[in-house]
Amino acid sequence: MANAAVIGAGGYLGGELLRLLEHHPSLTVTAAVSKSGAGATVADVHPNLDRYADLALRADADRLDADIAFLAQPPGEAMRIVPSLLERGVRVVDLGPDYRLPDPAEYARVYKRTHADPAHLGEAVYGLPELFREKIAKARLVANPGCFPTGALLAIAPLLERGQFDGPVVIDAKSGTSGAGHEPTPATHHPEAALTVWPYGAPEHRHLPEMRAAIGRTGARVPPIVFVPHLVPLVRGILSSIYPTGARGDAEGWRSIYAERYAGSPFVRIGPVPRLPWTQGTNRCYLAVESSGGAPVVFSAIDNLGKGGAAQAVQNANLLLGSSESAGLDAPGFGV
């Protein structure tokens, strides 16, 4: 058994991590950190997790008894504690954005702050296992991808690797409100979001540079990307409709490409146009290829808190620790 710490345990991603780790066969949660919840127990903050009724939330990450730490924090927080964790031999899966962009100047442009740990940016491995499995297994520090990039990259990477389109790609994504985090904002507060669909993030959502950087890591051509996310009145899930232009081949041929590319990936499903309940609570990405106007269209569905967050972090931890990639992640989605 390995000891795990969850830092940022009070939010949605932290709670989902704790839920997934509750029955993990080779990871035991020995520490949970939440500045806002310090002094309470995990079960006080997340009443559905009564197994953790005796685990008190700590205010800081000092002197953690952990082999691996999951960091579920806002931008700017992880980079202040990662150096000390690595120095103490703790492996890190960062669910925030601090290590997703390898260029500190690009990080400063996108997140409007100077990176406090540029020395480890080059070391961090981008944690999309289906594309970077071997590198993740050898890493100390993994940058868990953002939720939108996860669904989009799994959909377009096989096509780019095979040169199946040569024009821009349009990514039209719909996301539930939990992606905005635990604290309500004027846009994500339920009365504002419940009866509308709202496009946001223009002119450049911060996940767009992450997508470009991740494609560059694969060695494939980085196409022009038009990315428009929309907030929809759901809690969990992201459905992306993806339109590659200048397409070569047809929908049937593209389905074969996906089937071959993800043959060894336990969490990617190729099939009919997906529904979001299939993904909820899981680490699965459902992909489908259909034809519209004679051109292939790709659909991608994930749970933003699952494959787009906490479940993918557990998948990365499994690879880091040499466990089965699927350990603790076998549960199916809801279905309806």
- From the candidates 147, 159, 234, 247, which is the catalytic residue? 147
Is the Cα dihedral 7, 9, 14, 16 positive or negative? positive
Stretch (H or E) spanning 334:
none
Q: How far apart are CA 251 and CA 268, in angstroms?
A: 18
Q: Quick check: 289 and 254 in contact, CB under 8 A?
A: yes
Per-residue tokens: 52: 């953790």
Angle made by CA atoms 214, 141, 8, in degrees to the nearest 5 = 100
Is 147 annotated as catalytic?
yes
Q: Are 74 and 10 in contact (CB under 8 A)?
A: no
The Cα 101–Cα 79 span in angstroms is 12
Tokens linked to 46: 């997340």
**Type of residue at 24:** H
Cα Rg of the chain, angstroms = 19
Record the tokens describing residue 309, joined without a space: 């967050």
Q: So which residues are the catalytic ones?
A: 147
